[in-house]
């Protein structure tokens, strides 16, 4: 006769839940840099994995006996994979995975050494419990309860529901309006847990996917009014000073401002840039504003003067949108527009996105001679890239806009010994140690490129812009960064480390350092005004960097912001002069403004609102 009851023991489900709970909490403390301020936050962090795990594993209570343990084992494997993927992603990006990032699979074939560099042997300890579960499932030790033993289902469900509500109640009490005012994924994970966060991310994905379907042109009116109210008058002395000139822009991979005018092992890190900025306008308070899209996000910001998305890369998620990109505007003014990048055209979906932005030509890997001798890490070395690109520049009709994207200074910062001009730094961070030689290599490549421009006769007829695209050293290397900089890396200092170089060289203009707080979103209106092109008929959130009256407020994608006097990050206000904590009331006047800009930009992208812009202008003109 078939048994209907069994003696109690430790259930297979309880073992699986315990293993996952313990290793998730270990990951929180060891692999994720989650800031804990009090015992309540620690309690929330401790229980939040359990509230989800009990919910998802309780499904096994309603399955047939032969499928109960199979379900538990499969779910354990899946959630372990999710946890491990987050650990690897966080190790470099200091962020958590989102659904849009998971769909960026076309990039995976190019990641290669970057992923292997991020995996540590100790990481495989996170999979040991799965092996134990498989062994336990098949040997059925005496302490294991039979699959048919489920105890009291009602008690399980009530306990699970109670814990779930307790977790979310504590989270809401500790962080009011958690789901409506939070851009920072770390805050979400800290309060609701990694797995619940991914459920929430699925809700956000569904919501964002629906926004385009219900969007109409009327939603643009409020955004247009906001943009007009905040638009500044261009600097009369510099407006149109470079009219008719070529525009050459270089995006420096992973280059942060802390390397400028600094030495390592007694040698300059960027000797060429240190000289070149003295002949140019140099902005030393210029911040990158990228999100999960990194280099592609910086391109998106610069070309559109819009913010990137908080989740995923716009280049992937919304490449078919209607944009009013800088290449399209310059095309209308008689420019030839091109982007040059010696990588696969499909990487970051550039081959599709560039068409939406208006580029006439994309010089990709097929336009370069690439082989093992002139390549390292992610592809063609920067010196060879610039050298081969001169021929492409010479064939372009003038005036032209040419954008270059460098590669060599990319994580994991690999470089052949023969190409090193400075030695590695000495710290506990291999990543930071290897960073300086590759930065120096790119600096030398730029020196060669400028010399070639002069030899080709293009130098005097071109505005040359050099800027950093995003950080190269994440917060996971703060201890080593503190050693190099000689100070503790606080949240305030972490924001300051988001500064990247911006150098604008204008023929006939003397060099000058400008300390105005600014960001990548300000670059497009600045350049268009230098070329004598009005921007009053466009929607953009940036301001002309040479304008004398614009508000110094730079908003980062995680909703941190910087003003002339304050830095706001992680719900905390800092005095910019001293770096010390100050009253939050000083930052409050800017908090809503920062949130509003990000919200407006998100609405434009998710709703594809710029497809209605020309239509609205036609109706207004009538």
Measured CA to CA, the distance from residue 471 to residue 257 in angstroms comes to 9
Q: What 3-state DSSP class applies to 380?
A: strand
> Quick check: helix, strand or coil at residue 596?
helix
Q: Which of 501, 458, 429, 33 is nearest to 276 (CA)?
A: 501
- Three-state DSSP at 422 gives coil
To 5 degrees, how large is the angle CA 275–CA 278–CA 280? 115
- Are residues 54 and 160 in contact, defined by beta-carbon separation less than 8 angstroms? yes
Compute the residue count for the chain.
622
Cis preceding linkage at 453, omega within 30: no
* 102-158 residue pLDDT tens: 666 555 555 555 666 778 888 889 999 999 999 888 887 777 766 555 556 666 677
Please name which of 568, 459, 126, 522 lies closest in space to residue 289, comparing C-alpha atoms: 522
The pLDDT value given to residue 593: 92
How far is Cα 235 from Cα 550, in angstroms, rounded to an integer? 11
Largest CA distance in the chain: 97
Residue 534: count other Cβ atoms within 10 Å of its Cβ. 13
- In three state form, how does the secondary structure of 81-110 look? HHHHHHHHHHHHHCCCCCHHHHCCHHHHHH
Whether the per-residue pLDDT at 266 is higher than 80: the answer is yes
Region for 201 from its dihedrals, namely left if φ exceeds 0, alpha if ψ lies in -120 to 50, beta otherwise: alpha
Instruction: Assess contact for 201 and 98: CB atoms under 8 A.
Output: yes
Write down the pLDDT at residue 150.
Answer: 55
**Percent with pLDDT over 90 in the chain:** 59
Neighbouring C-alpha atoms within 13 Å toward the C-beta of 485: 20
Determine if residue 283 is left, alpha or beta; phi over 0 gives left, psi from -120 to 50 gives alpha, anything else beta: beta
> What pLDDT, on a 0 to 100 scale, did the predictor assign at position 272?
98
Q: What is the pLDDT of residue 206?
A: 77
Query: What is the mean predicted confidence (pLDDT) over 21-38?
Result: 88
Instruction: Specify the DSSP element, H or E, that contains 286.
Output: strand 286-287
| H-helix or E-strand spanning residue 340 | strand 336-340
SS (H, E, C) 60-75: HHHCCHHHHHHHHHHH
The pLDDT-based confidence of 190 (bands split at 50, 70, 90) is confident
Query: pLDDT tens-digit profile of 522-568?
Result: 999 999 999 999 988 889 999 999 998 767 899 999 999 999 999 99
Closest CA to 556 of 294, 287, 292: 287
Write out 434-477 in H/E/C secondary structure: HHHHHHHHHHHHHHHHHHHHHHHCCHHHEEEEEEECCCCCCHHH
**Cα angle vertex 139, ends 133, 145, to 5°?**
75
Average of per-residue pLDDT values in the chain: 88
Q: CA angle, corner 594, sides to 620 and 492, nearest 5?
A: 155
Find out whether 287 and 519 touch, Cβ atoms under 8 Å: yes
Query: Helix 382-395 crosses helix 430-456 at what angle (to 10 degrees)?
Result: 30
Residue with tokens 């300086």: 436
The backbone region for 126, taken as left when phi is positive above 0, alpha when psi lies in -120 to 50, beta otherwise, is alpha
List the catalytic residue out of 290, 295, 408, 431. Answer: 295
Please, what is the end-to-end C-alpha distance for the chain in angstroms?
86
Looking at residue 146, its pLDDT comes to 64
- How confident is residue 34, by pLDDT bands cut at 50, 70 and 90? confident
| Backbone CA torsion sign across 543, 546, 550, 553 | positive
What pLDDT does 4 receive? Answer: 44
Distance between CA atoms of 292 and 98, rounded to whole angstroms? 9
Contact 507, 531 (CB under 8 A): no
Pairwise CA distance, residues 331 & 528, whole Å: 12
Q: What is the pLDDT of residue 620?
A: 36
Give mean pLDDT, residues 501-513: 96
DSSP state of 182: -
Query: What is the number of alpha carbons within 13 Å of residue 269 lying toward its C-beta?
Result: 22
Q: What is the pLDDT of residue 164?
A: 78
Going by the DSSP 8-state scheme, the letter that residue 232 receives in this structure is P
Q: Is the pLDDT of residue 194 over 50?
A: yes
Cα–Cα dist 337/359, whole Å: 5
Question: Is residue 408 annotated as a catalytic residue, yes or no?
Answer: no
Task: Give yes or no for residue 3 having a pLDDT over 50.
Answer: no
Among 22-26, 212-216, 293-297, the least confident range: 212-216
Percent of the chain topping pLDDT 70: 91
From residue 515, give the alpha-carbon distance in Å to each of 276, 356, 518: 17, 34, 9
Which residue, chain included where needed, has tokens 């962090």? 45
CATH number for the segment(s) 218-621: 3.40.720.10
Report pLDDT digits (tens) over 68-77.
888 999 999 9
Three-state DSSP class for residue 562: strand
What residue ranges do the domains of the chain occupy?
12-211, 218-621
Per-residue model confidence as pLDDT tens digits over 363-421: 999 999 999 889 888 789 999 999 999 999 999 999 999 999 999 999 999 999 999 99
HSE, CB side, 13 Å, CA atoms: give it for residue 170. 21
Distances (CA, A) of 427 to 228, 260, 417, 483, 540: 49, 20, 19, 8, 42
Contacts of 459 (CB under 8 A, 6+ apart): 450, 453, 507
Tokens matching residue 171: 């989270």
Helix (H) or strand (E) holding 329: helix 326-332
Could you give the C-alpha distances from 589 to 179, 188, 549, 568, 573, in angstroms and in order?
Answer: 22, 24, 18, 11, 12
């Amino acid at each position: 006769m078939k048994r209907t009851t069994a003696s109690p023991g430790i259930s297979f489900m309880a073992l699986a839940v315990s293993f996952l709970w313990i290793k998730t909490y270990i990951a929180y403390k060891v692999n994720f840099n989650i800031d804990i301020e009090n015992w309540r936050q620690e309690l929330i962090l401790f229980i939040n994995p359990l509230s989800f795990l009990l919910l998802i594993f309780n499904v096994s209570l309603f399955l047939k006996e032969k499928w109960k343990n199979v379900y538990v084992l499969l779910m354990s494997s899946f959630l372990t994979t999710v946890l491990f993927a987050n650990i690897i992603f966080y190790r470099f990006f200091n962020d958590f995975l989102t659904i849009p990032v998971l769909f960026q699979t076309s990039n995976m074939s190019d990641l290669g050494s970057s992923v292997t560099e991020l995996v540590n042997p100790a990481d495989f300890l996170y999979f040991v419990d799965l092996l134990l579960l498989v062994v336990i499932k098949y040997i059925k030790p005496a302490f294991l309860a039979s699959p048919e033993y489920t105890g009291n289902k009602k008690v399980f469900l009530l306990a699970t529901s109670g814990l779930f509500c307790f977790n979310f109640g504590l989270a809401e009490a500790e962080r009011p309006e958690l789901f409506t005012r939070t851009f920072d994924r770390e805050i979400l994970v800290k309060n609701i847990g990694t797995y619940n966060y991914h459920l929430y991310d699925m809700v956000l994905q569904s919501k964002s996917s629906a926004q385009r379907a219900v969007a109409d042109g009327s939603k643009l009116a409020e955004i247009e009014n906001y943009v007009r109210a905040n638009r500044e008058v261009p600097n009369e002395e510099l407006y149109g000073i470079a009219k008719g000139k070529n525009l050459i822009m270089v995006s420096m991979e992973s280059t942060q401002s802390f390397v400028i005018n600094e030495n390592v092992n007694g040698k300059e890190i960027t000797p060429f840039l240190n000289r070149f900025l003295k002949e140019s306008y140099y902005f030393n308070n210029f911040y990158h504003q990228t999100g999960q899209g990194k280099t592609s996000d910086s391109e998106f910001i610069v070309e559109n003067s819009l913010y990137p998305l908080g989740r995923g890369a716009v280049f992937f998620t919304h490449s078919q949108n209607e944009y009013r990109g800088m290449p399209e505007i310059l095309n209308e003014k008689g420019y030839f527009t091109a982007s040059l990048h010696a990588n696969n055209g499909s990487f970051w979906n550039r081959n599709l996105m560039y068409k939406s932005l208006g580029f006439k030509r994309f010089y990709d890997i097929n336009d370069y001679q690439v082989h093992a001798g002139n390549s390292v890490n992610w592809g063609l070395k920067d010196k060879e890239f610039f050298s081969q690109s001169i021929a492409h520049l010479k064939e372009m009709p003038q005036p032209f806009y040419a954008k270059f994207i460098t590669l060599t200074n990319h994580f994991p910062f690999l470089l052949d010994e023969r190409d090193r001009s400075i030695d590695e730094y000495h710290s506990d961070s291999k990543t930071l140690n290897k960073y300086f030689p590759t930065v120096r290599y790119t600096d030398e490549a730029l020196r060669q490129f400028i010399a070639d421009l002069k030899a080709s006769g293009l130098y005097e007829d071109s505005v040359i812009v050099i800027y950093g695209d995003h950080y190269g050293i994440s917060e996971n290397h703060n201890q080593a960064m503190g050693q190099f900089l000689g100070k503790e890396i606080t949240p305030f200092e972490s924001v300051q480390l988001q500064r990247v170089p911006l150098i604008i060289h204008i023929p006939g203009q003397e060099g000058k350092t400008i300390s105005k707080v600014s960001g990548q979103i300000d670059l497009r209106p600045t350049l268009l005004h230098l070329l004598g092109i009005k921007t009053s008929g466009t929607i953009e959130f940036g301001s002309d960097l040479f304008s004398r009256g614009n508000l110094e407020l730079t908003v980062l994608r995680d909703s941190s912001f910087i003003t002339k006097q304050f830095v706001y990050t992680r719900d905390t206000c800092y005095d910019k002069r001293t770096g010390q904590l100050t009253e939050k009331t000083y930052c409050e006047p800017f908090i809503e403004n920062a949130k509003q800009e990000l919200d407006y930009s998100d609405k434009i992208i998710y709703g594809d609102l710029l497809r209605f812009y020309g239509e609205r202008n036609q109706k207004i003109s009538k």
